[in-house]
Amino acid sequence: MRGTVGAFAVLVVLGCSESEPPTQIQSTGGSAGVGGSGAVGASGAVGGGSGSGGVAGSSGGIGGSGASAAGGVGAFGGYGGSITWDGPQTLSETGLFSDIATRTLASDVRQYGVRNQLWTDAASKTRYFKLPTGTQIDTTVMDAWKFPVGATAWKDFESGGKLLETRMVAKLSDNPPEWSYVAYRWRDDGSDADAVPYGEADTQGTTHDIPNIPACKECHGGTREYFLGFSAVQLPQSDIDQLAAAGSLTSPPMAPFVIPGDAKAQAALGYLHGNCAHCHSAAHPLAMYNNFRAGLSVTNTDVAATALYQTGLNVSTSHDIDGTVMIIVPGQPDQSQLYNRVNRRDLLAMPPLGTEQVDVSSVALLKAWIEGL
């Protein structure tokens, strides 16, 4: 494991250094006072879990009064302190299965897929979705579907042939939109899975970490108005067709979405949408101090018009990391901070959460794409 949440707190602080130095980062775990190095160190020494803190302990790292002090980044600061979960304590109570012993799905739950996978150290995932009877998804804003109260998604994580955890996200209320997030850890005998609001590092003898609730919100808590992968860009056409046929969309997309560009650009745009856009989007609190956007829109028909090309190519970064000062330098992966940061797994790595191993084949693909730009 790695103190991923603590690491993220450090990154948040680095991101905030432009506006105002943090006053304090709380950490109930981890070794406090991780100094920066080189150019990054210029932003000052910061506290927070450095990896020795457990998952539970590192939750304090996000409760950065420092993050809030930078102004406008309060959403990051709000997740510290105690973690509570008053929803279903076992997976069998969540409505996913009609019979958990035989893993029979409830009749109103269906499996779905995503087009651009999120890398989680090669864990394999299966996804399920439920809409309350008689409700629809409001697709007026095609890039940000609005879901009815009660919409629920689950995602299984399997590694080495073993089912480790099932995560659940559910919409609790409208105005203001409230969502709940929690992971269920499977029992050794497979009979059920139990809610683990504090997460669990190195679960069940693997290197897989189950995130705690604050970590869910780091990636999911943008506008709190949508699911990350249940969208017009991410759903395979077969799933969109089924939803449309069932009358579940207020107005289905007019045409299938095709990622623009040649094969290399399509692969890079898809990968960066699936792995980076949940934080690098206008909806996420990060947008208040960082302009890099990695997401695709259904309106994108030309690579040059994508947010990635517009905010990434020849754009300066906030920090010099190993001599890289631009997000993407066409033709030069080694000068491109994007390539530098996906190709490492220390505190400067991107993404900063959810992975401990470099996604070697995808990083090679990003390199080839930058070389060809």
Residues that bind ligand HEC (CB under 6 A): 11-12, 14-15, 114, 118, 125, 127, 153-155, 167-169, 181-183, 211, 215-216, 218-220, 227-230, 272, 275-276, 278-280, 286, 290, 292, 317-319, 327, 337-338, 341-342, 350-354
- Identify which of 196, 228, 227, 230 has the alpha carbon closest to the alpha carbon of residue 213: 196
Q: Which is nearer to ligand HEC, 218 or 239 (CB)?
A: 218
We find the least distance from the C-beta atom of residue 140 to ligand HEC, in angstroms, to be 19
50 vs 197: CA distance, rounded Å: 21
| Nearer to ligand HEC (CB atom), residue 29 or residue 351 | 351
Name the minimum Å distance from CB 311 to ligand HEC.
Answer: 9
* CA 269-138-97 angle, 5° bins: 85
- Strand 162-173: give its sheet, edge to edge: 109-112, 124-130, 152-159, 162-173, 178-186, 193-195
How far apart CA 239 and CA 140 sit, in angstroms, is 18
Widest CA span in the chain: 57
User: Which structure tokens are listed for 138?
Assistant: 């409001």
The C-alpha atoms of residue 264 and residue 10 are separated, in whole angstroms, by 33
Our CB check for ligand HEC shows the closer of 300 and 339 to be: 339
- Write down the least CB distance from residue 184 to ligand HEC, Å: 9
176: cis peptide before it, omega within 30°?
Answer: yes
Choose between 32 and 216: whose C-beta lies nearer to ligand HEC.
216
Helices (H) and strands (E) in the chain — how many of each? 11, 10
Q: How far is the CB of 205 from ligand HEC (least distance, A)?
A: 20
Residue with tokens 């008053």: 86
How far is CA 184 from its chain centroid? 18
Residue 32 vs 210, nearer CB to ligand HEC: 210
* E-only strand ranges, 312-367: 316-321, 324-326
For 318, the 3-state DSSP assignment is strand
Shortest gap between Cβ of 215 and ligand HEC (angstroms)?
5
What's the min distance (Å) between Cβ of 233 and ligand HEC? 11
The smaller minimum CB distance to ligand HEC, of residues 32 and 215, is found at: 215
Q: How far is the CB of 16 from ligand HEC (least distance, A)?
A: 8
How far is the CA of 293 from the CAs of 23, 312, 315, in angstroms?
28, 8, 11
> Please, which residue, 2 or 167, has the CB nearer to ligand HEC?
167
Query: Residue 89 CB, nearest distance to ligand HEC (Å)?
Result: 15
Terminus-to-terminus CA distance in the chain, angstroms?
36
**Nearest-angstrom CA–CA distance, 198 and 238:** 36
Nearer to ligand HEC, 56 or 342 (CB): 342
Judge residue 263's burial from the number of C-beta atoms within 10 Å of its C-beta, 0-12 exposed, 13-18 middle, 19 or more buried: exposed
CA–CA separation, 30 and 33 (whole Å)? 9
What residue type is 76 in one-letter code? F
Closest CB 217 distance from ligand HEC, rounded Å: 8
Pair 153, 168: CB distance under 8 Å: yes
Provide the minimum distance between the beta carbon of 235 and ligand HEC in the complex, in angstroms, as a whole number: 10
Nearest CB to ligand HEC, comparing residues 32 and 328: 328
CA distance 330 to 336: 8
